[in-house]
Amino acid sequence: MVLRAVLSQFSKSLLAYSENPLEEGLRGNWQTTKDGFFVIPADINFDQFYSWLYLGNWIIWHSVETLGRETVKGLASFNPEMMANIGQEVGADYVICSFHDNDPWFVYLRPSLITSES
């Protein structure tokens, strides 16, 4: 599963979501950033977390640079090419955008993360 794989590779991935994991009682040491995003803790219960995301309309990413609200809104466009361009500009390792009802997902991976097997 893509989400489980990237979360296991990148600590301190961020989540932008209308729901609040602290209020919803999700397990883990949840923290918020100054921009109101959630830092996904390493000690989450993945199955609980994945089920909680079922409504869709969330973005999960990891990048070197801090992303502001306007950049995150750009990532949430229904345009995968725009999402990839923004991901490259901000040095994102990955970006996953889920839309209403959790379908579809757009996924951007930094090109150097992609390997091909011979």
Confidence tier at 91 by pLDDT (50, 70, 90) = confident
Model pLDDT, residue 110: 82
Which stretch of DSSP H or E encloses residue 85? Answer: helix 80-89
pLDDT of residue 118 exceeding 70: no
Q: CA end-to-end span of the chain, whole Å?
A: 22
List, for residues 33-70, the tens digit of each pLDDT value.
888 899 999 999 999 999 999 888 888 989 877 777 77
Rounded CA-CA distance 37/51 in Å is 19
Strand partners, 38: 15, 32
Lowest average pLDDT, out of 34-38, 47-51, 77-81, 108-112, goes to 77-81
Model pLDDT, residue 74: 67
Tokens of 94: 């990955």
The residue assigned the tokens 């990148």 is: 10
In the chain, what are the domain boundaries? Answer: 2-113
